[in-house]
Structure 1
Amino acid sequence: MSDTPITLTAGDAEATVLPGNGGRIGGLRVGGTELLRQGDRYGSFPMVPWCGRIRDGRFRDGADVHQMPLNSPPHAIHGTARDGVWRTARADATEAVLTHDLTAPWPYPGRVTQVIALAPDALTLTLSVETYESSFPAQVGWHPWFDRTLGGTCEGVRIAFEPAWQEERGADHLPTGRRIDPLPGPRDDCFGMPDGVDVTLTWPERLELRVTSREPWVVVYDEEDAAVCVEPQTGPPDGLNTHPRLVTPLEPLEAHTTWSWRRL
């Protein structure tokens, strides 16, 4: 099927899916109010086959060292799939299934499948990576850009969560390997939530949105005026080197996240 935009609707919720622009969600509207920052680089995009930064763009797989393009010098950032075209395998009024084949510069063949399912009060996202050839390390996650003020008509969003620890951030924006007590924002940091990601965003008197996932890692970014990011993922930044998850012909890598909301 084609890579043309897809519109999902459920109740008064509407999501725009953009297979031709990195498989991202270009918009999510609840009652006509847009929740995601607009623009070709924004919305919400899948991070595959790694999340966040890889130190110096290099990762090791056994004896082999692979170099990824330094698209955020001196590091490589957010995977390759957000820059590629995805194809629509199936779509109806409330659900879309997209696929993306991993190709160069990623050194291993594989296929990514993304399922985007909209309900009147929630959006559920699923990512899976599978291979029929060589096993390889990988990560998956999501990078949503939520509008800070919902169109500039409300008080700025509040972020609430209770992580067990924070990954200490070095001068190079990567974890040092030390776990510390969580620090106050502003943040561009990775946090551990061993019982699963659970973060609440509240736009006072407008909307409450809860981001949940069974995965134990989340990056929170709130250093910009226009938007904030809450990013569930299967490992921390530089995780291909420090916390790799292996994709094998018998065991794909799969993760889920749900954004659920209620009016205030």
Structure 2
Amino acid sequence: MTTAPLHPTVWLRRGTQRLGLVPTLGGSVAAWQLERAGGPLDLWRPWDGSADLYRTASFPMVPWSNRISGGGFEAAGEFHPMRPNRAGEPYPIHGDGWLQAWQLDSLADDAATMTLHSQRFDGNPYEYRAVQRFRLVDDGLEQTLEVQHLGSTPLPYGLGVHPWFLRTPHTRIVAPVQGVWLCGDDPLPTRHTAHIPEDWNLTRGAPAFGSFVDNGYTGWGGHARIEWPEHGLQLQLAMPDFEQDGGAATHYCLVYRPLDGPAFCFEPITQPIDAFHLEGRPGLRTLVCGQALTMRMQWRFEALG
């Protein structure tokens, strides 16, 4: 007798594209692929079928992204303790939405909506409703992540998504940025600089292979491009609400480029690493009950000219 998978994948299709979603595994993405003559091409690194969220193609980061130090944070005159939430990580990381099962609310051939109602998960202070929307279009993907605060105490929020990209020897990451937070081994920010290391410089185009990077960039311009010369393809990212939502002053991006392995990350985020403990809490948005924060992304693929 065949056993049903613990976390079944729901597939969307449009033209030569297919997108696999795994609602019960943190509302994550299993794969985003293009059918080509030589076989499927993965735009995001495909899920390996394990229960490790870091092995999925992408997952949502809500109600904050990246790490929080200090055992928690203060809001409205009260300290809110936060526990580490991933094995091997000394700090809580990437929110808690990715650690919970989402509900598949609507499904069409080329579109789907997932929702999550979170009530103080693992003892943290957040009560919220989150929504993810995915819609395949002729040349790409429309993606939305939204969170609405439901608690009585106003709290700081942030959003992000965590896609993984397969890298070829000549893959490049291109995005307009103005500075970067340098980090210790944690890696928590230690200081900010406008002097970006040469092979980290996204504005000039950074290689997907090189020295280790796990750092947040400031002054991000709201668009990015992943180039795969070996495939003759590039993937563009644009944030359609970027300017009306504060522009470069309120948006950030992060690159995770490990020394080894087949994949790297480019993450659009609304606040830098450990923003809860940086001066001015850059990028964090304090929401009162009923208020929402939304992040819309437009991914487009095209031939590399």
TM-score (norm 2): 0.78
The answer to whether the 8 A contact 2:175-2:220 is kept is no
Paired residue for 1:120?
138
Structure-2 separation of matches of 1:73 and 1:202: 31
Paired residue for 1:152?
none
AA paired with 2:41?
T
**What are structure 1's unaligned runs of at least 5 residues?**
150-154
Structure 1 residue 61: deviation in Å? 1.1
The answer to whether the 8 A contact 1:115-1:126 is kept is yes
- Superposed CA offset, 1:9-61 (max 9, x none): 11101100110111111100012212222324221000111101111441221
Structure 1 residue 245: deviation in Å? 0.9
Paired residue for 1:260?
300
Paired residue for 2:181?
167
Paired residue for 1:74?
90
Structure 1 residue 177: deviation in Å? 4.7
The answer to whether the 8 A contact 1:129-1:247 is kept is no
Structure-2 separation of matches of 1:181 and 1:145: 26
Question: Which of 269, 272, 275 does residue 233 from structure 1 map onto?
Answer: 269
Larger radius of gyration: 2
Alignment of 1:1-264 (within 5 A): 4-31=8-35, 32-37=40-45, 38-39=47-48, 40=50, 41=53, 42-70=56-84, 71=86, 72-103=88-119, 104-105=121-122, 106-134=124-152, 135-149=154-168, 155-183=169-197, 184-185=199-200, 186=211, 187-196=213-222, 198-206=223-231, 207-213=233-239, 214=242, 216-223=251-258, 224-241=260-277, 242-243=281-282, 244-264=284-304
- Superposed CA offset, 1:54-103 (max 9, x none): 11441221322222221353211111111110001111111111101123
User: Where is the strand percentage greater, Structure 1 or Structure 2?
Assistant: 1
Structure-2 separation of matches of 1:89 and 1:16: 15
Structure-2 separation of matches of 1:156 and 1:147: 11
Structure 1 stretches of 4+ with a deviation exceeding 3 A read none
Structure 1 residue 250: deviation in Å? 4.4
Secondary structure of residue in 1 paired with 2:98: helix
The percentage of counterpart residues that share the same residue type is 29
The answer to whether the 8 A contact 1:8-1:14 is kept is yes
